[in-house]
Amino acid sequence: MIQHVVMDMDGVLYRGDHPLPGAVDTLNALWTRGVRVAFLTNNASRHREELAARLSRLGFACAAGDVWGSAYIAALYLSHHAPGARVFLVGTAGMRREMEEAGIAVVPTHEGATHVVAGLDMTITYEKLSHAHYAICNGAAFIATNLDATFPDGPTTTTPGGGALVAALTTSTGVTPLVMGKPEPAGLSLIAASWGVTADDMAVVGDRLDTDIAAANAFGCLSVLVLTGVSTRAEAERAGAAEKPGVVLESLVDLPAVLEGRCRANSALDDPNQAQGGLSIA
């Protein structure tokens, strides 16, 4: 039985301000059985405590230590790989707090910056972009928390995401960033290390083929697509190997059966008998 699960949040546990049917009970059942659960999100604008508080308000009783946002992942990455880094941030107060708690020095301008970390920043200015641009042109390493094109600001509307700001800097400098968020597997790698397990012992659950499933496949663990969010069964059927889910579920409620090995991975997704039921396997 798989005892370590990494979950995406929006589209897996909740949509908007509403938990998905059965999701709270499923999480509680997993915890009762001793399954360890980490919540991995590309959201870089909020500190882990804010992300955990939101989950708790929705009924998912998690701790801040269970939540891995891409700002935290960037901070951990820097503390492991670049101790002594001096970072110019394009990001929010939550991102700054993650850096400072990891012991990363945040600098106010491009001067002396060894790294630029860029993500969603609702107070972006041309001056801030220019400092990031100068730093990268002067040789600072360029790290993106995520490449999300949009940020959902309502049930049907979006605003520019962190990826849109990263794209401005990629265009102006010609430098491609190292990306911390999904679909890159950096976050999964750090979570696995914190648990002391390998990819074989883990499953990743998400609602997007191009981020959640791609990251899981790149890392080499079981990838589970739930159909309660963005990606559809038809898209899963059409997906190439990099984004092909190992398992497709109608909802999170079916996850315990997968973890217990009561359904197989890697059988045909297009088997009509499988596709009719709540469980189907890619």
Q: Which is nearer to Mg ion, 10 or 237 (CB)?
A: 10
CB of 8 to Mg ion, least distance (A): 4
Q: Which residue among 8, 66, 121, 254 is the active-site one?
A: 8
User: Rounded to an integer, what distance in angstroms lies between the CA atom of residue 229 and that of residue 273?
Assistant: 23
91 binds Mg ion (CB under 5 A): no
Cβ-proximal residue to Mg ion, closest one: 11
Q: Which is nearer to Mg ion, 40 or 78 (CB)?
A: 40
CB of 90 to Mg ion, least distance (A): 23
Other beta carbons less than 10 A from residue 176's beta carbon: 10
Active site residue 254: no
How far is CA 35 from each of CA 3, 19, 38, 219, rounded to the nearest angstrom?
5, 20, 10, 20
Q: Give the binding-site size for Mg ion (rule: CB under 5 A).
A: 4
CB of 77 to Mg ion, least distance (A): 22
- Residues 193-212, one symbol each (x = binds Mg ion by CB under 5 A, - = not), give --------------x-----
What phi and psi values does residue 119 have, to the nearest 5 degrees?
A: -155, -155
184 binds Mg ion (CB under 5 A): no
Q: Which is nearer to Mg ion, 110 or 182 (CB)?
A: 182
Residue range at the interface with Mg ion (CB under 5 A); choices 11-19, 115-123, 232-240, 252-260: 11-19
> How many helices (H) and strands (E) are present in the chain, helices listed first?
11, 16
8 binds Mg ion (CB under 5 A): yes
The pairing of strands 202-206 and 4-7 is: parallel
Q: Which residues pair with 242 in a beta bridge?
A: none
User: Rounded to an integer, what distance in angstroms lies between the CA atom of residue 160 and that of residue 148?
Assistant: 9
148 binds Mg ion (CB under 5 A): no
* Contact criterion met (CB below 8 Å) for 137 and 161: no
Half-sphere exposure of 275 (CA within 13 A, CB side): 11
* Contact criterion met (CB below 8 Å) for 21 and 228: no
The pairing of strands 115-118 and 158-160 is: unpaired
Active site residue 10: yes
What phi and psi values does residue 265 have, to the nearest 5 degrees?
A: -90, 160
**Identified binder of Mg ion from the candidate list 2, 4, 11, 27, rule CB under 5 A:** 11
CB of 13 to Mg ion, least distance (A): 9
Residue range at the interface with Mg ion (CB under 5 A); choices 9-17, 84-92, 183-191, 239-247: 9-17
10 binds Mg ion (CB under 5 A): yes
Single out the residue of 80, 100, 265, 102 nearest to residue 186, CA to CA: 80
CB of 212 to Mg ion, least distance (A): 6
The residues annotated with a catalytic role in the active site are 8, 10
User: For binding to Mg ion (CB under 5 A), which residues are involved?
Assistant: 8, 10-11, 207
